[in-house]
Structure 1
Amino acid sequence: MRIELRHLRYFVAVADECHFTRAAERLGIGQPPLSQQIQALEREVGTKLFKRLPRGVALTDAGQSLLDDARTILADVARAGDHARRAARGELGRVRIGMINSAPFHPFVPRVIREFGQRYPQIALSLEEKSTPALAAAVLDEQVDVAFVRPPLGDDERLTVQALFDEEVLIALPQGHPLAEYLSLPLDALAAEPFVLFPRPVGAGFYDDIISACQRSGFSPRIVQETSQITSIVNLVAAGLGVSVVPASMQQVHSEGVTYRSIFGDRLKARMCLVHRRDEVDSATISNLLGVIEEVRNRALTG
């Protein structure tokens, strides 16, 4: 059996109008061709679908049964076409966003996710936290579409890296620490202090910036505790195990027992970047996300 969609559309029109002439006018075709198409459909189905009346037609039992299915099929086809068009516009689908564990604490990242979700509510978002190297690998392996990371990421030509913003870095001290009485401190004030830091493989760029800044200040930090989670660094400082330097957004972690102070002199910056596959710009969904990110970034720069 080979039933074409146009046969079903013609059939539904005749069933709705109960009249071939009126159905032909509605469809914009002649009445004889419409009758021929209905006869072709009846041959395919193998039974009469309409009873001819003096003033029109009425559905047979078989026709009534087919009408329900025909409406469902035509609605499904229309829905499928709509879904395809919306997907082509980037309004349907899925986006997998990766981020380093400090990214959600800066207002920029939650703002991007919120605005994208509001603008494209039919896009399913999944979020994943990993280190910068792991996220770069996940983007290349197509396990993640875009990721918020800290540089550097190497020179892989398959990746596009866009700088988003530079964030101030603060000194984190245990509450009650003697240095907490100062509002701003030079890094060399920490020369004799034990440090809590993240392992270099977690974020080599930011790690090297911290070590280099300390060395320019005349000392190498004495690292006594390492943890890959930035929130754990704050908690270890609160426990009195050492001092640290962290992105200013970590003040959003309301951990009792931590005091934050600005750095005087050699000011450190923590850069946040966006990374995605170079060929992802061909995806309407990713292109829409990149557009939202650019809008939020421009507002932040001009605000």
Structure 2
Amino acid sequence: MELRHLRYFVAVAEQRHFTRAARVLGIGQPPLSQQIQQLEREIGTALFRRLPRGVALTPAGDALFDDARRILREADQATERARRVGRGEQGRIRVGMINSAPFHPLVPRVIREFRRRYPEVALSLEERTTPGLAAAVRNETVDVAFVRPLLDSAEGLGTEPVLDEPLVVALPSGHPLARRKRLELLALSLEPFVLFSRAVGAGLHDEIIQACHSAGFRPRVVQEASQVTSIVNLVASGLGVSIVPASMQQMHIEGVTYREIRSETPKARLNLIYRQSDRDSPQILNLRRLARQLGQQAEDGSR
């Protein structure tokens, strides 16, 4: 028994007439009659009583009618579910992010817009360090992750650049340099630094070190931290100064003053990583496209 046999049977049962059912199905009446006869032979009993002006269901046909409609309805639903999953409109996606990512408006906007566009995709969030997220993507406990550039090899991972965010100087609020509106990096050459650990954020760490080198000094690091939020709190406690992504100003921590960097401003890149083996996954493709689109809009709006 094939689904087409059931579709033909249901059409005849609903129309109570072979010619009208054939017209609804878009086939000829003789082939339709042959298909119904084939179904009756397979089941082993008559499904219709032929009348002078149409047909009526036999008791066997009446018993099959409700089941046939249910089977066809479930087959249609299964087909549509498969199509929706194939378009990335259903399924699930596990998203990781570094500690600082939610402070930039882009990341919450991407998550919010993805949920709006694909309400039937189950989306879960997880926060870790960049190396932890890279490992989680590789071992398939996370599907995609917002991270800073990686220290180790990105083998097996795809990378979608999302945003290049300017860095700013974070100072204790009572610091003499806080009286200036913008700072040359060289003004920090004698200051103690609180810095992001290279082991957990090579991209951001190296960008800051290189910017200081280009300004003519090597920063004197007195304390390292694994989270940017911890760095800002250490600056507030007076332990030193730092250079952090501009979005960290959203934290509004008392005791910290932020100042723009004069001259060429170093950037903190935010990437979206995913498994290369899953690069064609519809859910991942949809999130990548959305992050790329909204990231471009954010960069255009900041110019």
Instruction: Say whether the fold is shared (TM-score over 0.5).
Output: yes
Matches within 5 A, 1:46-65: 46-65=44-63
Residue 247 of structure 2: aligned partner: 249
Q: How far did residue 72 of structure 1 move?
A: 1.5
One-letter identity of the residue aligned with 2:157: L
CA-atom RMSD, angstroms?
A: 3.0
Q: Are residue 297 (structure 1) and residue 299 (structure 2) matched? A: no
Structure 1: distance between partners of 2:23 and 2:195: 78
Q: Out of 158, 161, 165, which is 1:160 matched to?
A: 158
Q: Out of 111, 114, 129, which is 1:113 matched to?
A: 111
Structure 2: distance between partners of 1:15 and 1:260: 76
Residue 210 of structure 1: aligned partner: 208
Contact 1:151 1:272 in 2 (8 A): yes
C-alpha deviations, 1:267-293, integer Å up to 9, x for none? 432122233334444334333333323
One-letter identity of the residue aligned with 1:221: R
Structure 2: distance between partners of 1:52 and 1:121: 49
One-letter identity of the residue aligned with 2:106: F
Structure 1 residue ranges without an equivalent (≥5): none
Structure 2 residue ranges without an equivalent (≥5): none
C-alpha deviations, 1:85-105, integer Å up to 9, x for none? 333333333333332221222
Q: How many residues align?
A: 300
Q: How far did residue 187 of structure 1 move?
A: 4.1
Matches within 5 A, 1:123-162: 123-162=121-160
Residue 13 of structure 2: aligned partner: 15
TM-score (norm 2): 0.82
Per the alignment, do residues 257 and 42 of structure 1 end up closer, same or farther by CA in structure 2, a change over 3 Å counting?
same
Q: How far did residue 212 of structure 1 move?
A: 4.6
Q: Are residue 97 (structure 1) and residue 95 (structure 2) matched? A: yes
C-alpha deviations, 1:185-243, integer Å up to 9, x for none? 3445545655433332110222233345456554542424x432322332333344443
Q: Out of 227, 230, 241, which is 2:228 matched to?
A: 230
C-alpha deviations, 1:2-49, integer Å up to 9, x for none? x22122111101110112232233233444443443344344445443
Q: Are residue 199 (structure 1) and residue 197 (structure 2) matched? A: yes
Contact 1:13 1:23 in 2 (8 A): yes
Per the alignment, do residues 55 and 278 of structure 1 end up closer, same or farther by CA in structure 2, a change over 3 Å counting?
same
Q: Are residue 221 (structure 1) and residue 220 (structure 2) matched? A: yes
The SS at the match of 1:196 is strand
The SS at the match of 1:201 is coil
The SS at the match of 1:151 is coil
Structure 2: distance between partners of 1:13 and 1:163: 54
One-letter identity of the residue aligned with 1:118: R
Contact 1:198 1:230 in 2 (8 A): yes
One-letter identity of the residue aligned with 2:220: P
One-letter identity of the residue aligned with 1:198: F
Per the alignment, do residues 52 and 148 of structure 1 end up closer, same or farther by CA in structure 2, a change over 3 Å counting?
same
The SS at the match of 1:207 is helix
